Amino acid sequence: MLKPIYECAGITIIYILSMMLSRYIFLIPVMQKRWKQVLFLITGWMACMGMCYFTGILPSLILIGVILGLYIFLTGSGGKRRYFRILETFPIMGISFGLVYPPAELPMIFGIREDFMMIYSIVLNAIVLIAVSIFAIRGHKWRSEFREDMHYRHLQTWEASLLYAIGSMMFLFAPTLSDTSVIEEDYSWAVIRSTCITGLIMFIVTLTVIILILQGNKSAHFREQVLRMQHNIIITLADIVENRDENTGGHIKRTAKYVEIIAINLKAANLYGNILTEQYIADMIIAAPLHDIGKINIPDAVLKKEGRFTDEEFEIMKSHTTVGKKLLIQAEKTLGKSGYLDIAVQMAGCHHEWWNGRGYPEGLRNQDIPLCARIMAVADVFDAIVSQRCYKGAMSIDEAYELIRKESGTHFDPVVVDAFLDAREEITEVLHEFREEPVTEQEIQPAGKTETIPELVQTETA
């Protein structure tokens, strides 16, 4: 009578462990609808219990594997990746075995035979089930915090490789431990003890890896919080600078989105692929709001002047590039090296360089201008010429796109311009979404502002 209960308890523990490992360690997503998730898990557990009670442990273990594979398939991403992830059933099941079998067979190390082993296993299973029940009832707060950690988490390559290696080994090795409980009398106890000790070592290694990955979740969440805080500080600083010349934060939001769209289009077209990694693009988006940080050092008399600058005023205005670069280099010395600060330094210092070498402050040309600055140049000029300023009206959207096209190869990198123009629809949507004042396709430059295109670009990008 006790044996079926004992076996069903063991299967229940392996089922629960497998599902928890798939979610919290292997980061398998959940079903979109909670009721489907609960229904699937309960139905799967009941099927495993029925299989265990009527046919035994082995068929029920096979059924757990089938249910787990189906769960991974139903919750996975589309395409080939969904089918590939089904293979994770084996390491997940292996780690479950590795966590269940070695502790259950612990008495064998001391030469204790089957009668006591049964009692020991029943007590152990009962303790585990009670602990799981308490966790299910009272662990809501912890689970909520952990899920928040997981939101920012993905398995590192070394973590995934270690999990797959350990899980696969335990999948093959751990079940053999249970075979030693039905050994023949003449079997060497030295071999049995050696096998059980090896299993316990694997149990400790598996537990250590799981703890490291759980800690990795917490660290990833902490890093994400720090990055969000840094990003918010950056946005605030940039807003302060923008507000000095009576602009709102719309400019920095729009230019950051333009930069993102251009970079993604370039990457999709396999252009500058050696530079435009996912991390580089993410760093550019964070750094973009700092491109004009040097304007904090420009006097109000110049920054807010209506009309054209004198030569002297224009030189003062141009200094925002070198000042911004120096400020960010100093920040990097204080805060430490980081990808987005490196890019921010390049954007601040070089976003007014021209493709043909006529820009400032250093007169760089072509590929000597950092790619991030070439992308920012297009984004910055476009947003400036379609926006209302204290010293000018807004150019029509059609004229703005035409201006960018005509300046390709002189002011701007032609490849970047092509990516920008190809994304015209997305760019226009961003302009509408983050525009401070209503925008229409009919907006025109007010009377008296009839500069040629090169003159207009030179003025607007100061």
- pLDDT tens, 95-150? 888 777 777 766 665 656 556 666 777 777 778 778 777 776 776 776 676 666 66
Q: Residue 145: what pLDDT?
A: 63
Q: Are the C-beta atoms of 231 and 252 separated by less than 8 Å?
A: no
> Is residue 236, in this structure, part of any structural domain at all?
no
> Is residue 256, in this structure, part of any structural domain at all?
yes
Residue 183 has pLDDT above 80, yes or no: no
Residue environment code for 35-57, b if the CB has 16+ CB neighbours within 10 A, otherwise e: eebeebbeebbebbbebbeeeeb
> Same domain for 156 and 285?
no
Mention every residue, 6+ apart, whose C-beta is less than 8 A from residue 403. 381, 385, 395, 453, 456, 457
> Is residue 289, in this structure, part of any structural domain at all?
yes
For residue 312, what is the domain's CATH number? 1.10.3210.10
> Same domain for 211 and 270?
no
Give the total residue count for the chain: 462
> Is residue 230, in this structure, part of any structural domain at all?
no
Mention every residue, 6+ apart, whose C-beta is less than 8 A from residue 443. 386, 393, 394, 395, 396, 397
Across 195-215, average pLDDT: 70
Lookup: tokens for 320 = 């925002």
> Same domain for 32 and 71?
yes
Distance CA 252, CA 148 (A): 29
Question: Final residue of a domain: which of 218, 233, 255?
Answer: 218
pLDDT band of 364, cuts 50, 70, 90: very high
User: What is this structure's pTM?
Assistant: 0.57
Residue 181 has pLDDT above 80, yes or no: no
Question: Final residue of a domain: which of 218, 234, 263?
Answer: 218
Residue 338 has pLDDT above 50, yes or no: yes
Residue 440 has pLDDT above 50, yes or no: no
Between the CA of residue 153 and those of 27, 144, 209, 216, 424, what are the distances in Å?
A: 8, 15, 16, 8, 34
Q: Nearest Cα to 340, choosing from 207, 455, 238?
A: 238
> Is residue 270, in this structure, part of any structural domain at all?
yes
Q: Find where tokens 């043909």 sit.
A: 356
Residue ranges of alpha helices (H) inside 269-409 are 278-287, 300-303, 311-335, 339-350, 371-385, 397-406
Torsion over CA: 358, 359, 362, 367 (sign): negative
Q: Residue 125: what pLDDT?
A: 73
* Bigger pLDDT: 49 vs 447: 49
> Same domain for 293 and 214?
no
Distance CA 251, CA 238 (A): 10
Q: Residue 192: what pLDDT?
A: 56
> Same domain for 34 and 149?
yes
Number of other residues whose CB lies within 10 A of the CB of residue 178: 16
Distance CA 99, CA 231 (A): 42
Q: Residue 244: what pLDDT?
A: 63
> Same domain for 409 and 353?
yes
Q: What three-state secondary structure class fits 389? A: strand
> Same domain for 190 and 317?
no
Mention every residue, 6+ apart, whose C-beta is less than 8 A from residue 200. 102, 103, 106, 109
> Same domain for 208 and 293?
no
- pLDDT tens, 28-58? 888 888 888 899 999 999 999 999 888 888 8
Distance CA 234, CA 354 (A): 26
> Same domain for 327 and 196?
no
Structural domain of 78: 2-218
> Is residue 361, in this structure, part of any structural domain at all?
yes
> Is residue 106, in this structure, part of any structural domain at all?
yes
Q: Highest mean pLDDT range out of 131-145, 213-227, 318-332? A: 318-332
> Is residue 341, in this structure, part of any structural domain at all?
yes
Q: Nearest Cα to 275, choosing from 260, 263, 262?
A: 263
- pLDDT tens, 388-403? 665 556 688 888 999 9
Q: Which of 192-206, 340-354, 359-373 has the lowest mean pLDDT?
A: 192-206
Distance CA 30, CA 448 (A): 62
> Same domain for 214 and 253?
no
Q: Indicate the angle between helix axes 371-385 and 339-350, nearest 10 degrees.
A: 60
> Same domain for 449 and 382?
yes
Question: Final residue of a domain: which of 174, 199, 218?
Answer: 218
Based on the structure, what is the number of domains in the chain?
2
Distance CA 234, CA 335 (A): 13
> Same domain for 181 and 285?
no
